[in-house]
Chain A
């Protein structure tokens, strides 16, 4: 395969490290973090309930 053929094969390309989102990178809010912790703790409690 010739290197020049890569262009014809390419769908999308970018440099690793480019965040595809062009705006400010989002950060999880405190309420979102709290909700996630709650879901995780419910999951872990369900394991304990099922296996104890």
Chain B
């Protein structure tokens, strides 16, 4: 049996009807839900009542680790004879390998699969889900919407405005992880004609009198498993999700008073959306207010960091030196002490800093017990921290640290309370988040010892010029000559288009890995011997060398470089700019 784990979002509309907004895979179960809001018990009951001897879970540790751990514990306790196995995938993987089914096996897929119609047609593109429901006469069960598909125009919008301080329209992109934009529309005909209907569609913003009375735009979220040829559903629970913030006051935003079509500033996003902070955005590292720390303990301004400098870092014996989140998010130390041999050290900066623009106007302020200073970081920064609940030290994403039982651990292995982990919305997108590539350890130190923050530091993932790419027609073309729109082959032999090209102006000494004609950075995901891995994990020969420029490609899935499949998804959703030489440059932290 194969089952797909999904969530679906619903709002209570102004007429108090419940309406579907979208369906999601790659969905996260956030903590704090009661048994009645979410439970794996219905799946365990299914396994128990069937003749299942094994459960195989396909998941993404960055999204699902805690949930999968809970499921494995439950199955282990109630059905000890059921063998549980897993396939763990990188966050941006979209083609999980097919797992062979069997009568006694239950395969639970929690990861997005581009080959599945449910995922690629209806989860990736909520417009298609609404079209489908409209075509099958379920219009009263979906959020009112407007959009154009081919020669068909769909228009079920409710164009009335609210007297309260809320928008009346939402613009959504047709696919992908792009966030929505909230609007106040006063001229609907103009809004429809101005809409780029090839890429976007409109939804009415619906909010019930109950939510208005609560002064917060809550919504419903259901968790289910969809299984079998008839797409049956196994209900795991329904919760009410809340935005990060209550509705704005008139003093904060006079939306009701807006008199022309207006897209609301991004600062209002977390007042009207129940979406969590998307890890795919990779807002990692130090905000502009912070400093790196030199090996001697001096503050180093972000703008002064350069390749060859030595910065303070934290070495933990046995910690995987990898950028594969599927690996480092599963790294866990039992107890509240770092292992013997852990130490503050100095690590050489391997490449110049990389920065991610703060497009969401969102930062996190972190303060620990005993210090008056607040440190400002990106919301998806992975922080080395201790949980008293699980009695373990591991990397935890800042935006996920909601519990009261998360602490820092100082260099003397004392547990230090986090007294402030504050989500801060800025008036407008300001600043950026910065990281550097350190060797040989990944953990950047900020703050002063004995208390410190150590966060995982991602690195560049690219190829040297001259690396040959396999084109659709079977010819080879050097990576530096590849252009956007070129058609290349992926590992399954299918062709796909190059969506973007990246050139990094490195101009520094960098450790590169070699295999035949391939020269690659340590952590670019490569498909080798049947699994995704990296050059450093493979133990390829390496040496430090001067690197002028590095290159990478963005493709739908992967591409073949020097005969080896390489992930083309590593720069999804990131921002690029064109430099003074006309080169496309990544303006953000490489992932």
Contact = CB atoms under 8 A, between A and B. Distances in A.
Interface of A: 1-3, 5-6, 9-17, 19-21, 23, 25-28, 32-33, 35-37, 39-51
10 contacts: A6-B289, A10-B427, A11-B267, A14-B244, A21-B218, A26-B218, A35-B18, A39-B19, A39-B141, A43-B122
Interface of B: 8, 10, 18-20, 23, 34, 36-37, 117-118, 122, 129, 132-133, 135-136, 138, 141, 210, 214-216, 218, 220, 222, 224, 226, 230-233, 235, 238-240, 242-246, 252, 267, 287-289, 361, 363-365, 373-374, 376, 399, 401-404, 420-427, 430-431
A36 B220 contact: yes
Given A21-B218, A39-B10, A40-B233, A15 B421 contact: yes
Contacts of B214: 21, 23, 26
* A-B residue pairs, 6 tightest by C-beta: A20-B246, A44-B231, A1-B288, A13-B424, A46-B136, A17-B402
Given A12-B245, A20-B245, A20-B246, A39 B18 contact: yes
A20 B243 contact: yes
Given A3-B376, A13-B422, A26-B214, A47 B8 contact: no
B402 A46 contact: no
The residue in A15, A33, A37, A44 that gathers the most chain B C-beta atoms within 10 A of its C-beta is A44
Contacts of B420: 15
Contacts of B36: 27
Given A13-B424, A15-B420, A35-B18, 8 more contacts: A11-B361, A14-B244, A15-B422, A17-B404, A20-B244, A26-B214, A39-B20, A47-B231
Given A37-B235, A39-B141, A43-B23, A15 B423 contact: yes
Given A46-B138, A47-B132, A16 B231 contact: no
A36 B136 contact: no
A51 to B, nearest CB: 6
Contacts, number: 151
Contact of B138 (A14, A27, A39, A48): A39
Contacts of A48: 230-231
A14 B239 contact: no
B87 to A, nearest CB: 25
Contacts of B233: 37, 40-41, 44
B423 A9 contact: no
Nearest to B18: A35
Contact of A21 (B20, B246, B425): B246
B24 to A, nearest CB: 12
B136 to A, nearest CB: 4
B18 A36 contact: yes
Contacts of A5: 289
B138 A43 contact: yes
A6 B376 contact: yes
Nearest to B267: A11
A37 B374 CA distance: 45
A48 B423 CA distance: 42
Contacts of A44: 226, 231-233
Nearest to A1: B288
B138 to A, nearest CB: 5
Contacts of B252: 11-12
Contacts of A27: 34, 36-37, 240
A43 B20 contact: yes
Nearest to B20: A39
Given A6-B424, A20-B246, A43 B240 contact: no
B376 to A, nearest CB: 7
A11 B231 contact: no
Contact of A36 (B238, B287, B403, B423): B238
A47 B243 CA distance: 30
